[in-house]
Structures are given as C-alpha cells and as structure tokens.
Amino acid sequence: MSASAPPASPHVMNTYGRLPIALERGQGCRVWDVDGRQYLDALGGIAVNTLGHNHPKLVPALQDQVAKLIHSSNYYHVPLQEQLAAQLVERSGMTNVFFCNSGLEANEAALKLARKYGHDKGIERPQIVVYEKAFHGRSIATLSATGNPKVQAGFGPLVEGFIRVPMNDIEAIRKATEGNPDVVAVFFETIQGEGGVNPMRIEYLQQLRQLCDERNWLMMIDEVQCGMGRTGKWFAHQWAGIVPDVMPLAKGLGSGVPIGAVVAGPKAANIFAPGNHGTTFGGNPLAMRAGVETIRIMEEEGLMQNAADVGAHLKAALQRELGSLPGVKDIRGQGLMLGIELDRPCGVLVGRAAEAGLLLSVTAESVIRMVPSLILTREEADEIVSLLAPLVKAFLAE
C-alpha cells in the first residue's frame, strides 16, 4: 500500500476508518493513488460510479454544463429537472419526481411522504413497517428506520413510528400489523446493501404489493444502492414485475455527481404541496445534467445488459473458486451487486485486498461486497476473482 499516503488530518472530523491510500485519478474501472500505484476498483465509489472514471462521453458533458450553469435554486424552473424527471417516469412506470442530493435525503423525503399520507387520512400517529438489517441513512429519522443497533447506538431517543419485521416472511408482517389502523407504509430495499447484500425474494415482493393494495398502504422501495441498472434492470424490484408507490434513488444516478430523487406513483405524487418539502441544492443543473447523461450513455452502451452478463459471469467464477470452501456461507446478489458471506468477521480483507491492488468493502462484518462500475468487462471480472480468491483462501486457513 502507498507508503506516503497522508496521515489522518487533524482538521478533518474523525468519522471514517480510512485505509492509508489517497487516490488521485481514475480511468474506467481502475484508479491510481498519489504514488502512482494502480488498483482495480470493485467498489465503484460504493455503487456510485456507474460509468467508471473519466468516461469520454460524460466528462465533456459535465464540462459543458459547468460553463453554462451549475446552480440556480428552485425559485426558478430548471429545464433539466423536467428532462430527467421524464426519463425516470418513463423507465419506472411512475408519475412524478422530487430531486434532492443524496440517498439519505431521498429516504427522509419518503418518510415524510408516508407520514403526510397518514395525516391526510386522519391518522395522528402514522406507523411505517421497516426491516431487520435495513439501512436507510444516518439522519435521526432514517437512522430510526435502519435495522442496525450499532449504527443507532449513542443517538437516542430514536424517532417513533416504526414496526420492524424480518425479510421474506409475509406472515410475519401480517402478524405484526394485524388490527393496526395506523400503519401507512412499508419501506424496504429490494436488495439490502449495508445489511449484507440480502435480496428480497420475487414472490415476497409480489405478496407485499398485494398486501399494500389490500390495506391501502404506500409501498416504498429504497433503490438507492440496487437501482439504476445495477442488477440488469433499471430498478431491482422490476424483476418481480411490480411498481412501487414511492421510490428513493441516488448513488448511481449521477455517476459521481451528488444527486438524489424520490419517484412517486399516483397514490403518492400529490401528497406534497408547496411549502411541505424543499431543498437548496437539490435538482441543480449540474446534477440534473449528470443524471440525463448517465441514462443516455447507459442506453447507448448497453450497460444494463452488461451488468447482467458480467455480473452473472463474476458470480459463477466466485462460486467456482470459493463456493465449496468451508467458511464460505453464501455467494449472493444479482448483476453487479454481489456479496460473499463468510462464517467470521473479515474486515481485515479490505486492507489486504488493497495491498493486492483491489478495492472492495466488507459490510455487516462478514460479507465481502462488490458493487463495481457497470462498464466492468469479463476480463476485469476474472481479474477480481484472481486477486480475491487467494486472499479469501489464505484468510480462511488462518
């Protein structure tokens, strides 16, 4: 690893356990540190860098926009908002979009939508069903919706109004909400990211859609990490053939430019009125241009199909190399959102992989997570396996 990477700054708040690496530039799925050391990037900025680094079509478009208008504020119409909203509506089968700056903000807006939906129906203390192991952000409300006691520790009292259930168990949610007239929404990730790359089953998603229809609840699907083509469809829930009422997006939508969005269907599209919600930076022209160009380039280059194909190739190769090892509990996920669950905490592998020239993360303590850019090639997928497999084997043999 880079010997001359800067030490932790005395002036930057100590909120991250960083590796001793300072990255300087990137090209495609590769990045270089300040000492010129190269890494294969299997983390993609945590599922953010959809088009990789320094994409030859994205960079000139952003340079063009910076020279025109970066920010104007929502006192005025922003034509690029209309353009990006129309593209998201078309691809989601939903109707309206609110733009913000991050996944946390998009999830916070979804929670506000659900509460307002309840209040509009005369429910004084609306309740929202959330899930074990979920992660929706680190604001006080999204932290309260999150299913990780470690992340919540030290920040109580948490926001009330959440009912927590296990994944993929329709009877559990029926039982937890039975006879409760205050439930207004169900809120979940199609594939949990921070919780350990845990997918919702297709039949469960369909049962949940039916339950929401029966009980007039909002179905709110957090597609912040698993959306924007990562699984081989625009949004991961589309594999189940369902349409949510509310869908927060962020991460990959801007290919590295900060952006968030809440897409709403007919049941939720008109809940907010002027004054109910807002943002200073959200929907700025630069972020909107990044979103418009990301979608255009994804379609021009067939990146959703690439995510499906290369993801399946990578998963099969990981299964072949590691699947039968004692200590490997599961290899799961879809497209280019994959996790390898080990039977013990394996955070040490993040640093060892970086030493070997591979960037990835470990989440939920024992799950190796890979969410590379959607431009990843089969050759690069094979390279990930060739770098990672020996490290996992050596670790499990310790």
Q: pLDDT tens track of the chain, all 398 residues? A: 544 556 667 899 988 999 999 999 999 999 999 999 999 999 999 999 999 999 999 999 999 999 999 999 999 999 999 999 999 999 999 999 999 999 999 999 999 999 999 999 999 999 999 999 999 999 999 999 999 999 999 999 999 999 999 999 999 999 999 999 999 999 999 999 999 999 999 999 999 999 999 999 999 999 999 999 999 999 999 999 999 999 999 999 999 999 999 999 999 999 999 999 999 999 999 999 999 999 999 999 999 999 999 999 999 999 999 999 999 999 999 999 999 999 999 999 999 999 999 999 999 999 999 999 999 999 999 999 999 999 999 999 99
| Per-residue model confidence (pLDDT) at position 9 | 74
pLDDT computed for residue 128 by the predictor: 98
pLDDT of residue 4: 53
**Are 162 and 127 contacting, i.e. CB atoms less than 8 angstroms apart?**
yes
Residue 351: partners with Cβ closer than 8 Å, 6 or more residues away: 1, 19
**How buried is 330 (Cβ within 10 angstroms: 0-12 exposed, 13-18 middle, 19+ buried)?**
middle
- Tell me what pLDDT residue 55 has: 98
Amino acid at 201: R
User: Which among 82, 79, 31 is positioned nearest to 52, based on CA atoms?
Assistant: 31
Helix (H) or strand (E) holding 35: none
What is the residue whose two structure tokens read 């930076």?
A: 281
Cβ(341)–Cβ(322) below 8 Å: no
pLDDT in tens, 379-391: 999 999 999 999 9
Q: List % helix, strand, coil for the chain (3-state, nearest 5).
A: 40, 20, 45
**Start-to-end Cα distance in the chain:** 22
Q: Can you give the pLDDT at residue 5?
A: 55
